[in-house]
Structure 1
Amino acid sequence: MAVNVLIVDNSEVIRAVLREAISEEFQVVAEAEDGAEAIDVAETAAIDVVIMDLVMPGVDGIEATATIKELHPDVKVIFCTSVTQQERMQPAIEAGADGYVTKPFEHSTIQNAIRDVLP
């Protein structure tokens, strides 16, 4: 079964690294540079997993996660955040996050995080 992934990060460099890591095993179907764009994509694209940055301009990852989970409760959201932002993970979990990984990361870390949230 193909797993469709949405990558959300305001850094093109991070999106490229995530795309490379994820596409080794899963299907990257879309990318977004902020939470508002991620919500727009989630309204129309078939997505199984979202890799979400926590801190972004405009709509942040927590707000975007809450909205995406309202639209599609079965979509899994994995936060990809820096170590210094770990204290903000409790609000992310309350918004519906299913997991998180810290930056910097190995390809296998992202792949394992996706596998961990799948049924």
Structure 2
Amino acid sequence: MRELHPDVRAGLAMKRELQHRFEAIQERAEQIVARRPSPSGLVIPEVDIHGRLRDLYLAPGTCDRFGSHELVAEIMTAIAESTADARRKYHIDMNDISLLPRPLAEAMRQWRADGAPGSREPDFGKSEK
């Protein structure tokens, strides 16, 4: 079997690295949730960045204190505020420069400078699973 060209091996390694980075970003995003109380403080939803309700806390006596329309307004207000907060957290987390991985171009330059024709694929700073 013929040996792969070094640029092809580097391209395949870069593809794997981009897949790992994308999966890591997705995992980080899915972990972001927000819990903002309603105006009365009796309703606290847990909402993810997509606005999906993951949990809902109603303080004891909340249903007795409000009519159905008022309770709906309390819940919806708290969900809307939680969703906005989750999106703010997402924006802050995804733009945090301390969490940026090593640039691919830098890894490729180093690999090409160190590399010989039979050298290994570029190392992007983490081992394969």
TM-score (norm. length: structure 1): 0.21
Greater C-alpha radius of gyration:
2
Pick the structure with more helix per residue: 2
Pick the structure with more strand per residue: 1
TM-score (norm. length: structure 2): 0.20
